[in-house]
Amino acid sequence: MRIWLSLAAVMLAASPAQAFDCAKAATAVEKAICGEDALKSLDDRMSEAYGAVRKLSTEAERPMLARSQKAWIAEREANCPKSEAGIVACVTGMTRERLALFEGKPESGTAPAGRIIPVFILQEGTPAVYELDVTMQRFADARTRGERRFNAIADEIRARVKTGKHGEDTMDRVYSMIEAMSFRFAAPRLYSVEHSFWSVTGGANGNGGTQNINFDPVTGKDYTVDDFFPEDAVVKLIASCKDKIIAEKKSRWGSEPYDPAQDFFMQDGVIGEHVATFSRWSFNAEGASVNFDSYAIGSYAEGTYACDFPMTELKALARPDSPLP
């Protein structure tokens, strides 16, 4: 989880609106950027992309955009000098990830024609208000039904975010909520968007998960499993998923013997429910993953599980007119 800096410290960070002057480079990160032509070019691209996003943002969105960028710069300054991979590799990786967010590209697939920009909600936490770190995305000028459906996802996230005083008895603890909207995959007949969330509200452990929205970019219609696979194919996918989970459990157990028959968590009904629920499906260019809830098929110590289906397996089972690319 990101450790929040005080607003005063954040305001000391470099201005997010433009690249810094290398003649004034003072920090280890600034010197690393100025010492590598490719890295300086990448950082300049990010500054230009920030300016483009700012122009497309609303007046209400711009203060949060600036705050988010300043916090990100501070995070890069704090983390990269300590990176085991090296400061140049760390700065390059963080900057490329941030640039991709500003340029509005899906993580895989074909980029849409419309311009996508990030939208942020940040709030420094106190015992009276949530610590918030929320990243959404939207089309700057939504014209099609699919683009409007995409923006509606951001609106749904925004509507749930609790800004201001929450009115809960926190016992002087700071509660936090982290949410992110990610454009995972784009194809002519399929947009796959992931909404990830994590909250710490007083329990022994935080709680979180993911929700996926898979919809038609032309009509804006949300898909179901039935739009992709006939019933007999879903049965085969459930059986395949169970085999994948068993194999993963055996790997995680290492030298200790694993017997699925003795595993209370391995229930066919739970696996079947997850595979049949399309909000658990996340697509990319290589295939799809079905993500399982924490504790659904394993203890907390085991971690989370997912069934990964390569595109070849999916296409072999899909309907002839399915939206798969």
**Mean pLDDT for each consecutive 10-residue tract of the chain (325 residues)?**
39 53 90 94 95 97 97 96 94 96 94 96 94 97 97 96 88 92 97 95 81 97 98 98 95 89 92 96 97 86 92 98 96
Q: For residue 54, what is the enclosing H or E element?
A: helix 37-56
Same domain, 33 and 56: yes
Examine the fold and report which residue of 180, 215, 250 is the final residue of a domain before the chain moves on: 215
What's the CATH code of the domain at 306? 3.90.640
C-alpha to C-alpha distance for 131 and 174, rounded to whole angstroms: 7
Q: Is residue 322 part of a domain?
A: no
Q: What's the pTM?
A: 0.87
Instruction: Give the per-residue pLDDT at 19.
Output: 67
Count up the domains in the chain and report the number: 3
Q: Is residue 14 part of a domain?
A: yes
C-alpha to C-alpha distance for 138 and 181, rounded to whole angstroms: 10
Q: Is residue 220 part of a domain?
A: no
State the residue range of the domain holding 48.
7-103
Residues 6+ apart with CB under 8 A from 41: none
Grouping H, G, I as helix, E, B as strand and the rest as coil, residue 259 is: coil
Instruction: Give the per-residue pLDDT at 17.
Output: 52
C-alpha to C-alpha distance for 176 and 161, rounded to whole angstroms: 11
Same domain, 46 and 91: yes
Tokens of 41: 């070019």
Smallest Cα–Cα separation from 7: which of 122, 138, 88?
A: 122
Strands, sheet with 281-284, edge to edge from the N-terminal-most edge strand? 281-284, 287-291, 306-310
